[in-house]
Structure 1
Amino acid sequence: MTVSSPRMPVRWHIGVFLAPAVLVYTAIMVLPLFGTLQLSFFRVVDGRDVFVGLDNFRTLLGDPRWSASFWNALGNNFWFFLIHMAVQNPIGILLAALLSNPRLRMRAFYRTAIFVPTILSFVIVGFGWKLILSPIWGVAPSILDAVGLKSLFAPWLGKEEYALTTLGLISVWQFVGIPMMLIYAALLSIPDEILEAAECDGITGMSQFWKIKLPLILPSIGIISILTFVGNFNAFDLIYAAQGALAGPNYATDILGTFLYRTFFGFQLQIGDPNMGSAIASIMFLIILMGVCIYLFGIQTRLRRYQF
């Protein structure tokens, strides 16, 4: 005689609670994504949608009229991302380390003041900094003149060699509070027993941060890095608000987001081409997907060893 094991209860409530989120995510993310991918394989010929396979991608990457703009936007996008990785994230880690010091006074005020710009509108930030840096009515020349550094002022948003870097630093100013808060939370989550043991071994101050705290927060730094990558390759708002859809001067601040906008919707004398715009969006999706996969399968697995 065999005794059957009791059946596991069906946890139907999990599906009920997940269903609204899954439906909303599918409606506003998954379906438009597949629609964009589908649109990139077609082209309008004599008023009809004709399947052309990968021809739109070949045109985008190989046709001189398209490829020059695409590679310029892609290169600018990588530079925009590198500015955030090299400036924003290290500053965020430094600020988090300083704010985690229990002897620092007014820590709550500093955290709030640094984080406030992240909640501002891109339009306010872009237009505000454009006014500040204006050589005609901006306050930047007056401030530099007051400290005897007016000779260093230049129309940074009006020069091709400086415009993109200037916008990158403006974006760093706006969003440095996000990595700061994430690293700050990671530092606070380190058990006191580990820090007390380090102090017993004579590891204190900056030595304690480099030898104990930094290895323990590496997983958080990895998450911040991939969020920075995804956010910068989806960037559009700040460039559009400060420099317009043409991403001037002379497309020096053009990134994939603004290039996609002009191509898909059209701008001034440029007629919109949804099929080519979808091809650009598909390449953006593939770049972001490859970056996320490299992080998940190549980096995150190595960072897990530092988790406690």
Structure 2
Amino acid sequence: MQIDEMHQGGTNVPVTRFSDVQLFRPSTEDGVIRYAAPLGRGIDLEAIQVNRRSDVLVVGFHGALTRETTELPRFERMATLLGSGHSLLFFSDPTLRLADNLQLAWYTGWSELDIRFILADWAVKAAEAVGAEHIIFTGGSGGGFAALQVSAFVPDSLALAFNPQTIISKYLVEGKYMGPQQRYVKVVMPEFSPVPPEKLTPAHDWASPLGERVAVPLTYTRPLENRVLYIQNSNDSSHMTDHYKPFRQVAESGPNASRIRFDLYEGPHAHVAQNQQVMDRGLAAAIDWLRP
């Protein structure tokens, strides 16, 4: 399908189905195409690709969704990034399909399925199909967490993360509410909860057995071959304290220090999505860093 024929959200784009995620073979044709393949539990991995024959493939992940008003699959900021002129690949978080009231799941997959490797594999194959030399994984908030995690498995890629969570067990809405974290544990990882999930508090350690799957700083304690551009609103106090600072401490003292950059900006005194100016500046900086 041609790009100008696509409806908002890609709802009218034909879907190419694969019988197994390992059999993913993306199209080399120009234009727009959607993909789906089964992951288990009756849930598909769903993606949409825009091929513009650029040297950069931008891979997008979404953050939390208001499920009452948002239909899945969700391909976030597609309209915005279409204006960049680059080839694009967007993933909808399949983990959200586990429950209608699950708003945020950080693209972790569920207990028996770590989907980071699958997402990385699809992105690499898509880049080859569209002729891209560089891959940028990007997202904000929960999507930023996914970008940091998946990029770690793709050498020479770059994670462009805006105001991301980096430690799921430290995510508190407005710095104090456990609701999304409790719901995630109840639906996605109930076997790791030491108490009924609805009674979880910050004092309960449910995340340690999952290690780096739910903690980006742990991922980056080992030598990696990707790059990171971490863009953070300095006025988002809870994310500065609970997510930015723990990751920066690991980054600057670890083996990947030369491959990680930080950029602080002054935004609203809240955890909100980055505006268009911040996003455009970040994408331009990421591309300049990747290109020789």
Structure 1 length-normalised TM: 0.23
Structure number with greater CO (CA < 8 Å, separation at least 6) is: 1
Q: Which one has a larger percent helix, Structure 1 or Structure 2? A: 1
Structure 2 length-normalised TM: 0.24
Q: Please identify the structure whose Cα radius of gyration is greater.
A: 1
